[in-house]
Structure 1
Amino acid sequence: MEADLPFLLGPDGPLAKAIPGFTPRLVQARMAMEVSQAFEQTDLRLIEAGTGTGKTFAYLVPALVAGRRVIVSTGTKNLQDQLFERDLPRLLDALRVPARTAMLKGRSNYLCVYRMNRAAQDSAQASRRVDERLVQIERWSHSTERGEVSELGRLIEDDRLRHQITSTADNCLGAKCPDFSNCFVVKSRRAAMGADLVVVNHHVLLSDVLLKEEGFGEILPGADAVIVDEAHQLPDLAGQFFGSRVSSRQLRDLADDSLKAAAEQGDVPDLHLAANAMASPVIQFEARLAQLNSRISTEEFLVARDAAPAVEAVAESLDALCAELEAHRERSTTLEALSDRARQLQARLSICTAKQDEEQVRWTEPQGRGGTLHATPLDMGQGFGRVFAAHPGAWIMTSATLSASGDFAHFRRQIGVEDARGVALESPFDYPNQGRLYLPEGMPEPSAPDYPDRVADLSLRLIEGSGGGAFVLCTSHRALRQIADRLRAQLRVPLFVQGEDDRARLVERFAASGDGVLVGTQSFWEGVDVKGRALRMVIIDKLPFSSPGDPVYDARLEALRRRGGNPFVDVQLPEAIVSLRQGAGRLIRDETDRGLLVLCDPRLKTKNYGRRMLAALPFMSQVDREGALEWLRTL
């Protein structure tokens, strides 16, 4: 197979003949060879593929022609859809291989027929008529093939409605469900079990490991190889799966579902009282969580926010409900499932509110109308060991940014594998000719109170020179608001600001405008792809060092310090380099793109680490202010 890859991806191969716009790239063929070698040697390989490498085809082609079972995991559901609905069909048609493919998302993306019917019944009992939206959804349920609620469009934007018609791992009845034969989750999982290549997202990949460990079967088939795209996102996400968590919504749902089950039974007054008694403590708990603006340690939440009495009351009412559900679990499938849910929440709540130790960090975050308590392990290596053991074949982890200047040490530490082969493949784009770099003179220190205003004033002058077509990427929401307000007052081109619309729609509107300005924070530093003249300048306000105060981040730095490590050198700087490369990578997305990268932070010139960060970026000719304006005029 390996010998065929240069031909398949070459100028005379089937892809060049069958796929319009396909451009053969030597670096793409080299990446495909690395993927193929990892398959053959059954090893773990880290592949950093610069923008424009064509990494999607570079891993899909060897995966399709290898004759193996492969799982491909992506960072987002949008990327998942793109792979399954656009890239795979084109490749299968061009390569003419008989591979069976399937896509699998988390259960909350699929209609739950049982819960839909229950919601319709509840609606009819409450108002004597069924909610018209539920009628539309019921009609759709008979025509949809996959049952993905995203197909419902704007109808499903109401979070409360979505919650009513989808299931969670907690409230799913499994094989005992009366609508099990019509379950879209089951149908999708069966298709995945019979496929040669399954496209999932990181949530599904990690959930599969937990289900196997807890003895609830598995989501994914056994695989010869796992390919993880956008792998730089995996360590942060994994913390949610390797630890324990309990949300106020889970507690509220348990109480509500127990009340409904008690009403259906009709002769269990003690269960009804226990479920009803849980409502008030959960409301008080939610009220404490609603006061939060960001993550804090659970210890601070319990003491400083005076939440301990509310949490104790929830725990006591949960204990009482557990006892009643256990006493009646034999009466119905629903009560049996509720009893299991209650016991699981009881155990998680105990773990998440235990005293702090050196193994886990306990933290709390606001979420929706309430929030979530977490217990996250400080050492992620053991958790990743379980992930790799669940699929003991080849692993390929790829992203445009896995290393700091070609050094994969930090990412290796994050996943607990010190000897994984790391390969850094440079972008084929001609950065010296396609881009220019401007480091503004005379900027104050980023800690100065007027720094955001100075960034806004600089941006205004440059946007005037470019006629728009700019991203202004900020490192904080405070800076975003300050800069956006100042730009709004003076700009004569369309302004798009994060939070004023859905991210995808903002990007779509920005690209369509041609001369717009988009101001965003971290969510716009990656996963945003605007090709052509619509984006001709990227302005970054500050170096993206993580701010102190996040309980998980601070605890990990402290644990590293205790082990004799250097938090700045070992963690903070490598992570800032990766983030800066992500943000800068928004500028040049195509062989014909041209643009100006503006890095406002003076520390790039005054600090040793600043020079290291500059060296990690693709080389572009550096210009002064006049040179920057002249370059913009040529665009």
Structure 2
Amino acid sequence: MGGAARSGQQDMARVVSRAMSAREHVIVQAGTGTGKSLGYLVPLLVDCARRGNRGLVSTATLALQRQILVKDAPAVIDAVAEHTGVRLRVAVLKGWSNYLCLNRISGGYPDEDALFSLEGSDTEKSDAADRYATDSGREIIRLREWAKTTDTGDRDDLTPGVPDLVWRRASVSKRECLGKTCPFINECFAQRARETANDADVVVTNHSLFGINATGDTDLFPGINAVVIDEAHELAGRVRDQARVELSQSLITRVARTLRTHAKISVSALEKGAIALGSALEPLDEGLLVERPEALRDALIDVNDALGQAGRELKNSSVDAASKTLARAAIDELAEAIAAWSADSERMITWVTRPDVGGEHLNLAPLDVAPALGSRGFGDRPAILTSATLKLGGSFTSIAHDCGLSISGQPWNGIDVGTPFVPQSQGILYTAAHIPPPGHSGPSPQVLDELVDLVRAAGGGTLALFSSWKAAQAGAQALRKDTEFPILMQGEDTVSALVTRFREDTDSCLVGTLSLWQGVDVVGHSCRLVVIDRIPFPHPADPVAQARSRDAERRGLNGFRTVSLTHASLLMAQGAGRLLRSVSDRGVVAVLDSRLSTKSYGAFIRASMPPLWPTEDPDVVRSALQRLRDSSGDA
């Protein structure tokens, strides 16, 4: 295939092949540079070709889906065909709303007023409406032209893209789809993608859709014999996020408006229920809801009764099919949220948020997604979970539990196939043990001074990772004030554009928060220093972490170690992993949180991170950075 032999990749392929033959689960930690995509694609596709099986690959992001489909899989398909005589078909499958709806783009759907979300004075709303109508109109016209030439209707194939608000007016959710009654059913992009995937030998999807399949009643991936989860460290979180639902006065009001507009039915009871819910939520504090107030329970009983009445009236409505489908979709959205509320409260996380003044939201998410993943997601099919960061504190137990392998009924084992890099020789882990432990008011002056000094010693080339937006802003401000290097701040441009500039300017610094801790792949001298301001434990008020910790305590476990420590260790491993992206990379990971050295849990975190050469000596690390700066990355 034109590549170089990698022992870790070969080990991974053998382990994956054995797991599929024995119908067992396996967790494979494959460090950066291993080539894990080929490490699982080769044995998976060989198995499919030789035995006539179907395989599924789930990734963390749509971008990785595309990389596998466009870059990795074609090369493997050719190689497998040469050795087996079977040319496999690989298809990608995304959520319904990722595809253009020909009926909607042609005006076949009655649309809600798209300006409901605009805020401000009447004059500001009017100006915004004019701008929106003009700009979105141009984009809709461009989408209509694109619809004539695209073979996929896939949003990712549209260049340049369009804003989310515009795309929502050109796509539909699965609930809103007219199905067989749609005049464009034979040309439907989403339906065609589903049919292509059903006929393919290997389907490439994403964790959110995999989660919908695992937690829902419909089998989106029939006949699958083996499952591969890439970037498996994100699986449980992504599945929990996609299963989260919201209830609010504004949601119910919107559903009522949709029913009145499209179904022409009375919604006064539903509107009263919305007001009652708003009144019940208004006095509640933000955060985890441990006890469910009686007023909240009564309000949702009223909403559920009103929704049932609306559903019965909708059946007798004489409106057209498109209007009835939109009305039914609105009812189903609200019914799903009420069903989550009605589930066992001990197995649901319930919390209140207040994104706007007077706009309280009731949020619900499953406490534990492991049962759904273990039983329905994997079941008795062999499952291969892989990532560069799965072994937390030296053990695979945490990931096996969170992803459901421990309860799937099938045996599992874990293996670390290593990395072609030599972290001890290529990089330094510096812990600023002399700095006082972090407080709650943002980075201390000592942390900012240390950041500036390290960046100066390195001559730029720094990825500065902060655990909060406030801290990132303080770090960027300090660097702009006290250094002459170009400072690229997250939020000032798209992440991809910022990473490109960071890669091209070897003396620039990229500053950001949690979304930059993963996925930034910059090879070479441009990223010679990675600074982490503090250990990223979940915020004490994080309702999901709180609920999971309480549940761990109920099961006799240590809530802090089970939830907060594993969460922080995973992010620390991911953040430190930004440094070495090739065998020739050299650099320093600097952690400005002394707790990594002084607290007992620091050993667990360090065991989860790449094994860089450790030091706490400020002079040693500054000298190393200066040598690295002066050598331009050659030594």
When normalised by structure 2's length, the TM-score is 0.84
Q: Aligned ranges for residues 202-213 of structure 1 at < 5 Å?
A: 202-211=207-216, 213=217
* Whole-Å separation in 1 of the counterparts to 2:503 and 2:283: 37
Q: 1:312 to 1:40 in 2, by over 3 A?
A: closer
1:173 to 171, 178, 195: 178
Residue of structure 2 in register with 1:476 after alignment: 468
Amino acid of the structure 2 residue aligned with 1:602: S
Amino acid of the structure 2 residue aligned with 1:616: S
- Are 2:376 and 1:376 aligned? no
Q: Which range moved further: 111-120 or 122-131?
A: 122-131
Paired residue secondary structure (2:551): helix
- Are 2:200 and 1:195 aligned? yes
Is the Cα–Cα contact under 8 Å of residues 393 and 606 in structure 2 kept in the other structure? Answer: no
Q: 1:450 to 1:195 in 2, by over 3 A?
A: closer
- 1:524 offset after TM fit, Å? 1.1
- Are 2:336 and 1:348 aligned? yes
Query: Alpha carbon RMSD of aligned pairs, Å?
Result: 3.6
Residue of structure 1 in register with 2:121 after alignment: none
Paired residue secondary structure (2:107): helix
2:100 to 98, 111, 115: 111
* Whole-Å separation in 2 of the counterparts to 1:193 and 1:249: 38
* Whole-Å separation in 2 of the counterparts to 1:296 and 1:260: 35
- 1:482 offset after TM fit, Å? 2.1
- 1:153 offset after TM fit, Å? 3.7
Residue of structure 2 in register with 1:258 after alignment: 259
Is the Cα–Cα contact under 8 Å of residues 214 and 377 in structure 2 kept in the other structure? Answer: no
Paired residue secondary structure (2:561): helix
Amino acid of the structure 2 residue aligned with 1:401: T
Paired residue secondary structure (1:118): coil
* Whole-Å separation in 2 of the counterparts to 1:259 and 1:481: 46
- 1:290 offset after TM fit, Å? 12
Residue of structure 2 in register with 1:64 after alignment: 45
- Are 2:350 and 1:358 aligned? no
Residue of structure 2 in register with 1:156 after alignment: 162
- Are 2:7 and 1:30 aligned? no
Gaps of 5+ in 2: 115-128, 629-635
* Whole-Å separation in 2 of the counterparts to 1:534 and 1:494: 12
Q: Aligned ranges for residues 124-523 of structure 1 at < 5 Å?
A: 131-154=137-160, 156-157=162-163, 159-211=164-216, 213=217, 217-241=218-242, 245=246, 251=252, 254-255=255-256, 257-262=258-263, 268=264, 271=265, 273-274=266-267, 296-297=287-288, 318=307, 321-328=310-317, 332-334=320-322, 336-338=324-326, 340-353=328-341, 357-365=345-353, 373-388=362-377, 392-418=380-406, 419-447=411-439, 449=441, 451-523=443-515
Q: 1:314 to 1:119 in 2, by over 3 A?
A: farther
State percent identity of aligned pairs. 32
* Whole-Å separation in 2 of the counterparts to 1:226 and 1:478: 40
Q: 1:124 to 1:376 in 2, by over 3 A?
A: closer
Amino acid of the structure 2 residue aligned with 1:408: F
Q: Which range moved further: 319-328 or 599-608?
A: 319-328
2:64 to 69, 72, 79: 79
Is the Cα–Cα contact under 8 Å of residues 281 and 313 in structure 1 kept in the other structure? Answer: yes
* Whole-Å separation in 2 of the counterparts to 1:160 and 1:628: 48
- 1:555 offset after TM fit, Å? 1.2
* Whole-Å separation in 1 of the counterparts to 2:151 and 2:611: 49
* Whole-Å separation in 1 of the counterparts to 2:595 and 2:466: 16
Q: 1:634 to 1:106 in 2, by over 3 A?
A: same
Is the Cα–Cα contact under 8 Å of residues 150 and 156 in structure 1 kept in the other structure? Answer: no
- Are 2:36 and 1:55 aligned? yes
Q: 1:513 to 1:311 in 2, by over 3 A?
A: farther
* Whole-Å separation in 2 of the counterparts to 1:279 and 1:150: 38
Residue of structure 1 in register with 2:589 after alignment: 597
Residue of structure 2 in register with 1:265 after alignment: none
Is the Cα–Cα contact under 8 Å of residues 208 and 218 in structure 1 kept in the other structure? Answer: yes
* Whole-Å separation in 1 of the counterparts to 2:332 and 2:282: 24
Amino acid of the structure 1 residue aligned with 2:313: E
CA offset digits 1:428-478 (Å, max 9, x no partner) = 201122112222242011127574432221111111111111111111222
Q: Which range moved further: 534-543 or 622-631?
A: 622-631
Q: Which range moved further: 566-575 or 239-248?
A: 239-248
* Whole-Å separation in 1 of the counterparts to 2:552 and 2:592: 31
* Whole-Å separation in 2 of the counterparts to 1:43 and 1:556: 28
- Are 2:568 and 1:562 aligned? no
- Are 2:27 and 1:46 aligned? yes
Is the Cα–Cα contact under 8 Å of residues 452 and 479 in structure 1 kept in the other structure? Answer: no
Is the Cα–Cα contact under 8 Å of residues 435 and 446 in structure 2 kept in the other structure? Answer: yes
Q: Aligned ranges for residues 577-588 of structure 1 at < 5 Å?
A: 577-588=569-580
Amino acid of the structure 2 residue aligned with 1:228: I
* Whole-Å separation in 1 of the counterparts to 2:221 and 2:496: 29
Q: 1:437 to 1:153 in 2, by over 3 A?
A: same
Residue of structure 2 in register with 1:8 after alignment: none
Q: 1:124 to 1:382 in 2, by over 3 A?
A: closer
Is the Cα–Cα contact under 8 Å of residues 319 and 346 in structure 1 kept in the other structure? Answer: no
- 1:45 offset after TM fit, Å? 1.0
Q: 1:114 to 1:251 in 2, by over 3 A?
A: farther
Paired residue secondary structure (1:496): strand
CA offset digits 1:580-621 (Å, max 9, x no partner) = 111110100101111111011111221222133223333323
Paired residue secondary structure (2:172): coil
Paired residue secondary structure (2:535): coil
Amino acid of the structure 2 residue aligned with 1:226: V
- 1:46 offset after TM fit, Å? 0.9
- 1:252 offset after TM fit, Å? 6.0
Paired residue secondary structure (2:350): strand
Gaps of 5+ in 1: 1-14, 17-21, 263-267
- 1:561 offset after TM fit, Å? 0.8
* Whole-Å separation in 1 of the counterparts to 2:15 and 2:494: 37
Q: 1:82 to 1:285 in 2, by over 3 A?
A: farther
Is the Cα–Cα contact under 8 Å of residues 245 and 348 in structure 1 kept in the other structure? Answer: no
Is the Cα–Cα contact under 8 Å of residues 246 and 345 in structure 1 kept in the other structure? Answer: no
Is the Cα–Cα contact under 8 Å of residues 430 and 591 in structure 2 kept in the other structure? Answer: yes
* Whole-Å separation in 1 of the counterparts to 2:462 and 2:453: 12
Is the Cα–Cα contact under 8 Å of residues 318 and 342 in structure 1 kept in the other structure? Answer: no
Paired residue secondary structure (1:358): helix
- 1:485 offset after TM fit, Å? 2.2
Amino acid of the structure 2 residue aligned with 1:222: G
Q: Which range moved further: 44-53 or 493-502?
A: 493-502
1:630 to 618, 623, 634: 623
* Whole-Å separation in 2 of the counterparts to 1:448 and 1:209: 39
Residue of structure 1 in register with 2:632 after alignment: none
Is the Cα–Cα contact under 8 Å of residues 301 and 364 in structure 1 kept in the other structure? Answer: no
Amino acid of the structure 1 residue aligned with 2:233: H
* Whole-Å separation in 1 of the counterparts to 2:343 and 2:440: 38
Residue of structure 2 in register with 1:10 after alignment: none
- 1:356 offset after TM fit, Å? 8.2
- Are 2:568 and 1:571 aligned? no
Q: Which range moved further: 533-542 or 408-417?
A: 408-417
